[in-house]
């Protein structure tokens, strides 16, 4: 029984990891001029590659 629970937990974590990775790739494609990092809060932090400063979006 414990093996089944562990298997389900690993599958769920693998699914979450795939979703997070695909979201990161989407942000990298949307902002190709930025370095993209995901914060612990789940928000994305964008740094402009040319200046090294935080990217605040189009103004």
Q: Which residues of the chain have pLDDT under 70?
A: 58-59
Contact between 9 and 1 under an 8 Å Cβ cutoff? The reply is: no
Alpha-carbon distance values, 47 to 27, 32, 36 (Å): 12, 11, 7
Q: How far apart, in Å, do the first and last CA atoms of the chain sit?
A: 56
Q: Identify the pLDDT of residue 1.
A: 85
Q: How far is CA 47 from the centre of its chain?
A: 14
Q: Identify the pLDDT of residue 50.
A: 94
Which DSSP helix (H) or strand (E) runs through 20? helix 2-30
Which DSSP helix (H) or strand (E) runs through 58? none
Model pTM? 0.79
């Amino acid at each position: 029984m414990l093996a089944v629970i562990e298997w389900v937990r690993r599958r769920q974590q693998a699914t979450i990891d795939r979703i997070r990775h695909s979201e990161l790739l989407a942000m990298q494609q949307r902002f190709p001029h930025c370095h993209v990092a995901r914060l612990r809060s789940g928000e994305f932090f964008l740094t402009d590659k040319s200046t090294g400063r935080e990217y605040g979006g189009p103004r």
